[in-house]
Amino acid sequence: MNGPPRDWLPTVMLLLQREPAVVRVVVAEARGSVPREPGAFMLVSRGGVEGTVGGGRLEWECIAAARELLDDASVSVRLNKIVLAADVGQCCGGVVSVWLDRFSHGDLGMLALARDAAARGAAILSSTIRGAGVEREILCGEQTKLHGSARPRVLRGTAGEVTFLERLDDVLPALWLYGAGHVGQALARIAAELPLRFTWVDSRPELFPTVPAAGVRFRGDADSVATVADAPPGACFLVMTHSHPLDYELCRAILRRNDFAWLGLIGSESKAARFRSRLAREGIAADRIARLVCPIGVPGIGSKWPAAIAVGVAAQLLQVMSAAMTAEGEMVRSLGRKASLEALPSPDCGQESCSTCGTRQRPPG
């Protein structure tokens, strides 16, 4: 596998083709200074380990706990709370809750339903510990509004039950990179390793790598500007093509959409001034023009090496995306203070009986 797995569902299903069971280890909650964020996961099987929850003694302990689940078929799920300093001797000082669940061949049907639900739109997997087992339910439709965050949540009910909620659909931030020149190539190598939905656009498809990295989508359309309409709302855009006129047309098209999260343009202050002046003459509103970021990259990096520029731009992107995730997390925590496990209404996607979202058959009449 090229790098750690980005999506656990297809990876677990693939592993189960050659393994009798796979244990998934997920960072479910994190407080203080911790090695990885909620949602980070690794997969443990007899054949090895894929992914990471941060390394060090924490990961070693998690692998050991996962192997216990592989050995003991009577228990299928655990939620382990780990105080990094006291329990594993790591001086980070934080506290991590780790969700471990075992999947076997008998779970393939549920996994396929979960995969298909995610492909159709917003979907959540709800897993509740019941004794030594787990009760899983796939929520879709209106139910997902209670858990809009990309990060998972642990709900603890008044009766002591514990439920783990996690988004199944593709909630990673989208990055559309325009340009496959030297800086674009260097930046693409970094972006391919980040938790992104990465689309790389250039009208010269021969510049793309022969072997694409996992999770990277190439667009070699002759008309790059036309592809702007295909990007999802809330996407981040980076414009760094071989042509200043093309750069301008792309920026204008993106600003006219006005539903993007961030727009960065490679270039100098003078290029930025010329673009902004021309955009204003063409009637683009000032508040939209103000959203165009140029020059790009974190301050303090003087090198013009393509790789150095790429590192600075990637760091800036991570700052933007982290700020958005923090704001979203605050909103979800606020909602969480108002909602308990009992407050979750029965899932209903509008069908009489749906095996995907868990809606039960309604009584006749």
SS3 237: strand
- What local confidence, expressed as pLDDT, does residue 35 receive? 77
User: pLDDT tens for residues 173-192?
Assistant: 899 999 999 999 999 999 98
| Neighbour tally for 148: CB within 10 Å | 14
The pLDDT score that the predictor gives to residue 90 is 57
Burial class (CB in 10 A: 0-12, 13-18, 19+), 242: middle
Domain residue extents for the chain: 8-167, 174-322
**CA–CA separation, 35 vs 41, rounded Å?**
12
Per the CB < 8 A criterion, the answer to whether 318 and 110 are in contact is no
Element (H or E) spanning 11, and its range?
A: helix 8-15
Q: Give me the pLDDT at residue 141, please.
A: 74
Domain spanning 174-322 has what CATH number?
3.40.50.720
Segments of the chain scoring below 70 in pLDDT: 1-4, 85-93, 142-150, 170-171, 325-365
pLDDT at 225: 97
What is the model's pLDDT at position 363? Answer: 32
CB burial of residue 72 (10 Å; 0-12, 13-18, 19+): exposed
Backbone torsions φ then ψ of 83, nearest 5 degrees: -90, 110
Residue 285 has a pLDDT of 96
